[in-house]
Amino acid sequence: MLQTIIPLSRLPNGAAGRVASLSARGLIRRHLLDLGLVTGARVEAIRRSPAGDPAAFNIKGALIALRNEDADRILIAID
């Protein structure tokens, strides 16, 4: 089965997937890992601001807002 891999910033509202990889480095990587964005974690896109940035995601039961700049560094395998 071929999986579709996209940046988290492009995940449409209501869609879900699992973290495939994280390309962030340094403190931002640590912050994203602390938020629960580890390989295999399920993420669901909830909503975007009217301007499109930031966006809200359900990560392990918590609603987290991420800027597109940071969400671009997280690759998601769509369910």
Q: Is the distance from CB of 54 to CB of 9 less than 8 angstroms?
A: no
Q: What is the model's pTM?
A: 0.87
Taking a C-beta distance cutoff of 8 angstroms, is the pair 72, 38 a contact? no
- In this prediction, residue 2 carries a pLDDT of 72
CA distance 32 to 43: 13
pLDDT at 52 (0 to 100): 79
Q: CA–CA separation, 54 vs 57, rounded Å? A: 10
Domains, the chain = 5-78 (2.30.30.90)
> How does residue 1 score in pLDDT terms, banded at 50, 70 and 90?
low
Tens of pLDDT, residues 20-78: 999 889 999 999 999 899 999 999 999 998 887 899 999 989 999 999 999 999 999 99
